[in-house]
Amino acid sequence: MSSAPSVYSDLPVVAYEGPQSTNPLAYRWYDANRVVLGKTLAEHLRPAVCYWHNFCWKGEDVFGLGNTVFQRPWFNEADPVKAAYLKLDAAFDFFGKLGLPYWCFHDRDVAPEGATLAESNRILDGLLEAAAKKMQDGKVQLLWGTANLFSHGRFMSGAATNPDPEVYAYAAAQVKHVLEWTNRLGGANYVLWGGREGYETLLNTNLKREMANYGRFLTSVVEHKHKIGFKGTILIEPKPQEPTKHQYDYDSATVYGFLKTYGLENEVKVNIEVNHATLAGHSFEHEVATACALGIFGSLDANRGDEQLGWDTDQFPNNHVQLVPAMLELIRAGGYTTGGTNFDAKVRRQSIDPIDQLEGHIGGMDTMARAFLAAAALYESGQLEKVVADRYAGWESDLGKKIAGGASLDDLASLVHAQGISPAPRSGRQERLENIVNNFV
């Protein structure tokens, strides 16, 4: 890490002090070394700090574009490359304060864009080489890297789904470079967020061609992954809309159908974001459970939306009770493999001080840890698992096995008539189960 002071240098290193602590700059629930279900909390949660919201967002909004609300040294540096190095030093200083094991980045978060892709790549190379040196102590690893295929105007009509093949080719070249760097940095995953992969109107859209091109693009990414020996996971991050009216990776089930169509269901998984799940009209736990059931669960972006607002607010999670069902689904599925918990969250526009960023992550980390601990205790109690097992016990009977074995409609009709089967309704006991959950939170 850089020895030069940064905007975060005066902040303390965050330590665990326990639930009784009144220190706002200490973890109260996230004890990284606490062993639960056979692993430490750090191993279960694999938490990561994102580069974009923390070090790239200036605090502007759609009513204040161009206004730098957050006063950081790199925002005031006229030379964009020098600014990028200032930002990199500060970022790793911040990672060290939090003591979390991973970070995530887009290429354009780390390095400014040059006049050509070759120049952009050269600038990025220098900065990621510097990042690699900062990672040598092993305290911070890369959870995932990705290419920004949505901010520049060339991507206004999509990247892989753009009607212009030159944009498709440019995006492919950009992804190739960042995927190779992700591999070089030991990244555990590579993410594709299709923020512009969709349409504004069908009046000017060839949907069939765009979907086919998207499938071709993703296939090429997977092929290159194997060519370079990248052992990590390729992830798609579902989102229903925003910035486009409709995005092709609407939710986990939609992504699965897309992957099945192009024979990629065993190659690509999903990175599920809380706020994206709710924008799609789902609960977070639904998206996690669906991805796990379909075999495409990969990683999580931890944040929340505002229930009174209809857009992606990317706020830090602060309600552990709401997150317990999703953490329970994660535990039931056996936990992460290469994935982790990335804080794709930002402080509010009026939270202008560096300490606000630290406190946002502390609160988010404690919320996720508290939710996981409650879910683990609930899982270990076996109460819900027993109810579910009992509810589906009939499928272990002769009748259940016959159905699972492929019994025809004729077979089943004969059984019903011969045995006089006349099933009665059975209560799902939802209220009892909700009370059980509340006993653990």
Mark the binding-site residues for Mg(2+), compressed into ranges: 237, 273, 276, 301, 312, 314, 344
Q: Nearest 10 degrees: CA dihedral of 53, 55, 59, 60?
A: -80
Q: Could you give the residue numbers annotated as active site? A: 106, 109
Query: If DSSP codes are grouped into helix, strand and coil, which group holds residue 87?
Result: helix
Residue 47 CB neighbours (<10 A): 25
Helix (H, G, I), strand (E, B) or coil at 307: coil
Query: What is the Cα–Cα distance from 316 to 323, expressed in whole angstroms?
Result: 12
**Inter-residue contact 143 to 48 (CB < 8 Å):** yes
Distance, in Å, from the CA atom of 3 to the CA atom of 59, rounded to the nearest integer, reads 27
Selection from 1, 12, 109 nearest residue 51 by Cα: 109
User: Which residue, among 282, 275, 278, 227, has the nearest Cα to 253 in the 3D structure?
Assistant: 282
Contacts of residue 262, defined as CB under 8 A and 6 or more positions apart, other chains included, come to 215, 216, 218, 219
Residue ranges for the known binding site are 237, 273, 276, 301, 312, 314, 344
